[in-house]
Amino acid sequence: MWRRRVRVEGVVQGVGFRPFVHRLATALGVDGFVGNDSGSVFIEVQGSPATVAQFLRRLRGDAPAPARVTTVRVDDAPPVTEEAGFRIVASRDGGEGVRATHTVGAVVPPDTAVCDDCVRELFDPADRRYRHPFITCTACGPRFTIIRSLPYDRAATTMAGFPMCSACAAEYHDPADRRFHAQPVCCPDCGPRLSFVPFTPLACSAPAVADGHHSVTGLWDAAELEAARPAASCSEAIGAEAIGAGVPGAAETPEVEKTGSDGALAAAQQALADGRVVAVKGIGGYHLACRADSPVAVQLLRERKARVGKAFAVMVRDLDVARRLAEIGPAEAAVLRGPARPIVLLRRRADAPVAADVAPGNPLIGLLLPYSPLHHLLFAQVPGAAVAPPACVVLTSANLADEPICFDDTDARGRLPALADAMLTHDRPILLPCDDSVVRVVDGRELPIRRSRGHTPLLVEFGRTAPVGSRSRPASAGRVGRVADQDGSRRPVEVVLAVGGELKNTFCVTDGERTFCSAHVGDMGGLATLRAFEQSVEQLTAVYAMRPARLVADAHPGYSTRRWAERHAGDRPPLLVQHHHAHVVSLLAEHGRLGEPIIGVAFDGTGYGIGGTDSAVPSGAGRDGVPRGGEVRGGEVWGGEVLLLGADSHRFTRVGHLRAVPLPGGDTAVRNPCRMALSHLAAVGIPWAPDLPAVAACRPAELAAVRSQLDSGIGCVPCTSMGRLFDAVSALLGICHRVEYEGQAAIALEAAALEAVTVPAAGMPEVPGISGLAAAPRLAVGADGVLDPAPLLRALVAGLRDGVPVAVLAAAFHEAVADAVAEVVTRVGRQRGVSLAGLTGGVFQNVLLLRACQERLRTAGFDTLVHHLVPPNDGGLALGQAAVAVLRLRAGDDEER
């Protein structure tokens, strides 16, 4: 008779792992028990040697799909003679092998889209959860956004306030039921409950309506709404008739609060049909919804959000509707239907029945499928209701531009009345905000643009050969994990908090082995986002009981994240990591290949340039604020970088870069790509002739101001940014001269280039070669690795004057950049004996460029890494910062010099 004590670590709480273990043990006839503690799932199993061995094999191999088993530790245990059967035991706060300082084994699972079984029950009139907006089971539903602490039990979630009814409790305790130990299990008798609230004082003073089970009162009183609401909403200014114009069967939006699922849903559907904006409380926060086919409704939403040109996402009822809007191949369909249910950026159909202002000037459209039961019900006919449900709606985060998403009801009181006409809400609290994830699909795999709901918190294990979820081949070097003392013993690395970048901020916390990457926080330009950042840091570190001892930040002295780290670092200055170095190391870390030599191509818009090769340095320092250990090169803006990393991934050598040009006026040039075009033209000696679109876009006073800046050097910073070169070319070709959001000019340039390349039905661009030019434009690569755009710019100007179509010139530019990347990487690789390359930075969100570079590097014999777990943009910076910091700790290189 064998008895084994087992500890299982990874994503094993909140994913039905204990019920799975119970079913497996019962099927095999072994005795023992299973339970959760704050660090893992603990098991004791007893039976014949052969049966116990089979149990241990299947424990990992047969684990439920949402689970991610990272470690299984097995120890001998003395047999128990009086034990019979297998049971689930109560959770406990700790257990053997759990570190006293912080949790090491447990991983909070991400929120998962409602499963097909639950959807079938949702629309089955015979099921007791028929049309219940919060149906869930062990395989699906909210997790990350409702968990307060580990171990994962109902009492540790925001469902603690909804006691289970007797029927739900029976399912919860039945090993044969698929809701066995499903912590968020509920039904119409248990709650939560749905309500529809129009934002008018009269509606909020009306009495609550009984839903047949309970009397549900309004969330807000009249005085609160009167104080929060502006004097006149946009809808009032336009008029209800205009908003509902052209809507068949449009009726007046209900002016009283509706409670009970069907009453609330019918009211919301009517409001949407009337052209109103409805705030919908989702899994990770509130969204703003409106009709996707109504130009008036979409423009109203843009005005309220102060979002001028950036595309909106569209939620569609099902794949059939999605295919009416976009070109969708099997790979895109699989991602759309996957458990994460991200927004997928797809090539829009020319006849897509949506308003042009949903994604103005953009050939792509972001689509997502329903992922909560509430979403499914919103797209379904309400029994007895006259209004038809929508087939698709614009769905965007409920916030003003550049503010964090609204997620709790207290915050909503001050923010939503100015943004929406009504609210479809519920009384289950959201503990952690979580925006929708955004991806593109490249060669059948996801390219993350924003990694958040469905993927957060993301676990990357530095101590393993590949992180959880990675499909990279195993690496032979680069394990980080614990550092070795001089006597060879192993000790834990200090807990490190990496605070990320300024835009698309995420952060991560690591103990040297396991790194937890946060959800998307946003752009750190305002106090509201900084508060959201602080709250998210506090909550994530509390869940894992990981108290940071060291902070690490970007080297840019102007970043609010760096200033925050300096304020909170205590007497140990934060480590600083050069921006593009962090990009390259994040790529290595997500593929489990830290410590392997790599030539990293990091192309983006802005990164603070430093001298030296060691980029993680304490901030201590000089009178001018320059960090010790790395000479700041006059605040030079980098962004077109080729970096060589050796076996010591925390160091780098800059082996190539785009030739520097002045950035006239700093951020003013970023907002006005035509100014960046003027700078590039001046740098290569091309006169500012009025026939050039970028010149014609500027008034004489603006031309004079830029000329003065360039001649005097006042207000100019040297800039090697590839992102700014994309902006300049976009303006030079007359595509985009002024931008209203980050990346707009580059997105428009890619869109123009796509018109000149072949796009198969699956929507994936192929670049067969550019015709229409006498000679292919060339981005010259010097012997010193400097990429000189002079011949490229001259060729583009000549093409314009020869009447070559703009689309052909845009595609030729992409080809030239890809050729230069392949040339510089191949040259460095041959010189240094390196065969691994990486493509990272926000510019590589451009799929046309990404695939062209991959193809050339593959042909040249390089193993080329691209991002699949964290975004290539600044949303991936924190992972790289954390890895660099841990590597420095491993090397003992953490003292101020």
H or E element, residue 685: none
- Give the separation between CA 311 and CA 741, rounded to whole angstroms: 10
* Number of residues that this document lists for the chain: 897
Tokens, residue 366: 């972001």
Q: Give, rounded to a whole angstrom, the gap between the first and last alpha carbons of the chain.
A: 60
**Residue 682's closest CA among 813, 789, 817?**
789
| Residue partners of 340: CB distance under 8 A and separation at least 6 | 110, 112, 113, 437, 453, 454, 455
Q: Which residue has the tokens 């959760």?
A: 36
**Residue 112's closest CA among 159, 65, 153, 156?**
65
Q: Judge whether 873 counts as a catalytic residue.
A: no
Q: Which residue has the tokens 């994990």?
A: 481
H or E element, residue 396: strand 392-397
Q: State the CB neighbour count (10 A cutoff) for residue 625.
A: 10
**Residue 312's closest CA among 342, 292, 341, 284?**
292
| Residue partners of 534: CB distance under 8 A and separation at least 6 | 564
Annotated active-site residue in 4, 5, 7, 36: 36
Annotated active-site residue in 5, 7, 18, 654: 18
- DSSP output for 104-141: -SB-PPPPBPPPHHHHHHHT-TTSTTTT-TT--BTTBB
β-pairing, 575-577 vs 550-554, is parallel
- Give the separation between CA 159 and CA 163, rounded to whole angstroms: 8
Helical residues (DSSP H) of 123-209, grouped into ranges: 166-172, 201-205
- For 237, 695, 734, 735, the CA distances from 749, given in Å and listed in that order, are 37, 18, 10, 7
Q: Which residue has the tokens 């569609």?
A: 316
- Give the separation between CA 661 and CA 433, rounded to whole angstroms: 41
Helix (H, G, I), strand (E, B) or coil at 827: helix
- Give the separation between CA 763 and CA 700, rounded to whole angstroms: 43
Phi and psi angles of residue 560, each rounded to the nearest 5 degrees, phi first: -65, -25
H or E element, residue 167: helix 166-172
Whether omega for the bond prior to residue 49 falls within 30 degrees of 0, making it cis, is: no
- DSSP output for 657-678: EEPPEEEETTHHHHH-HHHHHH
Q: Judge whether 672 counts as a catalytic residue.
A: no
- Give the separation between CA 810 and CA 748, rounded to whole angstroms: 10
E strands, 299-362, where? Answer: 313-316, 326-327, 343-348
Q: Is the dihedral of CA 346, 350, 352, 355 positive or negative?
A: positive
- DSSP state at residue 614: B
The answer to whether the beta carbons of residues 492 and 480 sit under 8 Å apart is no
- Give the separation between CA 287 and CA 265, rounded to whole angstroms: 15
Helical residues (DSSP H) of 713-805, grouped into ranges: 722-732, 744-754, 790-801
- Give the separation between CA 640 and CA 104, rounded to whole angstroms: 38
Catalytic residues: 18, 36
